[in-house]
Amino acid sequence: MKGFTLIELLVVVLIIGILSAVALPQYQKAVGKSRVAEAKLALSTLQKASYVAYLETGEHPTIDSLSVSLPLSKNWDYLIDECCVGNGTFGCSWEADDKRSGSGFIRLVDQSYNMACGDTADLQTPYAGYMCFSDTPNYCPTMGFSKYDANIDGFKEP
């Protein structure tokens, strides 16, 4: 007789099950990293374009007034916080909100685009990472994160 025994088929199914149990988490991790990279790139683009617009006009721009276009994303919604002007604590924030989970990233800077954190209600939002441009005393460390342990560029990605 030609064919496979029941034991042989069960062993093959068991091996496939074990391989898929190991491969699926690694695949999900790789997908998560690619989504994080997409958000970081878009936030960096928004930040740089905002800074150029601020240097040209002396006013903090809205996302609609920038001369940049971000590709449509099925993963993220992007925005520039409208409370930039006249706020002495910080300047602007650029946000990438995850469309699926509601978490995301935020970059905060002061009016001179020097630093990326400050004592503001935005820091109470449960974002996965904050971008700190420097470890300036009384800003990043007092908020519980520093340039290298909880920022967007160095935070432990999924």
Token duo for residue 6: 């029941």
CA–CA distance, 86 with 60 (Å, rounded to integer):
10
- Listed in sequence order, the residues at least 6 apart from 73 whose beta carbon sits closer than 8 Å to its beta carbon are 38, 42, 99
Assigned token pair, 52: 């150029």
Q: Are 86 and 111 in contact (CB under 8 A)?
A: no
d(CA 14, CA 156): 33
Q: Distance from CA of residue 38 to its chain's centroid?
A: 8
What tokens appear for 101 in the block?
A: 């989970």
Using DSSP, state whether 13 is helix, strand or coil.
Answer: helix
H helix or E strand, kind and range, residue 132: none
**Could you list the pLDDT tens digit for every one of the 158 residues in the chain?**
688 899 999 999 999 999 999 998 888 888 877 877 777 777 677 777 777 777 788 776 766 777 777 777 777 776 655 444 433 333 455 556 666 665 555 555 444 444 343 333 333 333 333 333 333 443 344 344 333 333 333 333 33
Q: What is d(CA 85, CA 89) in angstroms, rounded to the nearest whole number?
A: 11
Beta bridge partners of 93: 108
CA end-to-end span of the chain, whole Å? 51
CA angle 40, 72, 35 (to 5 degrees): 35
pTM for this predicted structure: 0.49
What is residue 46's predicted lDDT score, i.e. its pLDDT?
Answer: 72
Summarize pLDDT for 68-82 with one digit per residue, the tens. Answer: 777 777 777 766 554
Task: Name the residue type at position 42.
Answer: A
